[in-house]
Amino acid sequence: MATKENPTEIIEKRTKYSKTFDIGGNQKRLVVKNRPVHYQDEEGKYQDISTEILNGKVDKCEYNIELLKDKIGYRGIDPNGKKIELELVGVNYKIPKIEGNRATWEEVEPDTDFYIEFTPDVIKAKRVLKKATANKTAIFRSLREKGSLGKLINLGQDATGRNTKIEVTEQPTGVTDEKLITQVFQDKVMKMNPETRKREWSSDVTYPVTIDPTSTFSIATDADDGAAFSYPGIVDYLRNSVNYKQLQYISPPNQTWAAWLRFTGITIDQSETINSATLKTYMVVRGYGVRSYTGYVRARADGGQTPGNPTAASQVINPTSTTGTGVTATINNTGNNTSKGAYGLNEFDVKTMVQNLVNNYAYSNGEMVFYLTHLSGYNVYLYHRDWGTTKAAELVIEYGGAPPVAEKKAFLKTSKYWG
């Protein structure tokens, strides 16, 4: 018998982003992530995604990729059926070490490792410069058929999480849709000057440095979460990013950051009873100029069965089509913490919001959008970390009727309050 502790999945209720479980007592649990958890097989049935590398291939997801033979890189077909290839050139080939969804080529050059990591919507290819003596230059051969999803970006961080300065040049190879990308790390990172309070390039680099090269290749558009920035009279824009979402910056007089999380795959009948609803996201608050800080986050659910993504910063910072009152939660800062391992789980009780939405809409495969906005603060950064499928932002809803009479009696007989 299914229970909350031992739920049984209802396979036929799967969507690309969600799973539904029987938890007993005529109740169900819907778990929705803002990253894919299923892919459709050749028969159109949803199967669990796996990005584990087996026999040099990853094909139990929306793309089909294999590691290059006797070369360092990968080739295959993206979710649109377009050809994609990436190869690190000019280094000696070594047999990679395969661990789950990661292939690592150790010491491809002195003090330099290279690895490729597969997740449902991102293929990450990263050079790890372990010491200052590592080669600062890398050359990649990239082939991306016209119409392929995502893009190659050139980013990096040192051991403390500060962004790296990289110079990039591109040159066609003569092969259709193919080019050589040269990437040079300038041995500088972005750092805030404590005297001027301005961010500037600094030679204060902490190794190892991880370069997302031609690094992170984004398979899918990063559309279901992002940040909005507003500085009245100057700028008002939305921003999507890969891996880290800067959700909020609060600084006088009027700068405002906010963020959204959109969940697709809501399958709940109209007017169903919501027993609990929890929004989960991994965050950290980082303050400059202060050693401790308490920030506030307010989450609100957008109205409409399929509200879609925001198209203007104002819709995120001051959403008008919301349902229910704001939920406030506290996030504590431990000082100027830049460690990527410091991202902690934060949970928001959004039961009232979800109940109000379900009262108005029947969700056969609908969407809910939640906004994260500030209440107060000074000079604070709030980040959301994209951890892939295991720790992606998540919405957990338990719903359904009261347990049958027989189950109630069984509970009472075993309860310590009985008799």
Domain boundaries, the chain: 49-218, 224-398
At 198, the pLDDT band (50, 70, 90 cuts) reads confident
* pLDDT for the residue 327: 67
Q: What tens digit of pLDDT does each residue of 286-303 get? A: 544 443 444 556 677 777
Amino acid at 386: D
Is it the case that residue 325 has pLDDT exceeding 90? no
Amino acid at 12: E
**223/241 Cα distance (integer angstroms):** 9
Burial classification of residue 379, based on how many CB atoms lie within 10 Å of its CB (0-12 exposed, 13-18 middle, 19 or more buried):
middle
Distance, in Å, from the CA atom of 182 to the CA atom of 204, rounded to the nearest integer, reads 24
Q: State residue 98's pLDDT score.
A: 97
Cα distance from N-terminal residue to C-terminal residue, the chain = 26
Give strand ranges (E) for 5-82. Answer: 8-9, 18-22, 27-33, 38-40, 46-48, 57-58, 64-67, 73-77
Q: What is the pTM of this model?
A: 0.76
**112-118 and 102-109 beta bridge pairing:** antiparallel
Q: Are 364 and 358 in contact (CB under 8 A)?
A: no
Instruction: Give the angle subtended at the CA of 242 by the CAs of 101 and 314, to the nearest 5°.
Output: 150
Q: Name the band, by pLDDT with cuts 50, 70 and 90, for residue 377.
A: very low
Task: Say how far apart CA 364 and CA 31 lie, in whole Å.
Answer: 15
Kindly give, in sequence order, each residue whose CB lies less than 8 Å from that of residue 266, ignoring residues fewer than 6 positions away.
18, 30, 32, 363, 365, 366, 367, 368, 397
Q: What pLDDT score was predicted for residue 340?
A: 40
Q: Rounded mean pLDDT of 151-160?
A: 82
- In the predicted model, what is the mean pLDDT of the chain? 79
pLDDT for 245 beyond 50: no
Place of tokens 């819907």: 30
- For domain 224-398, give the CATH number: 2.60.120
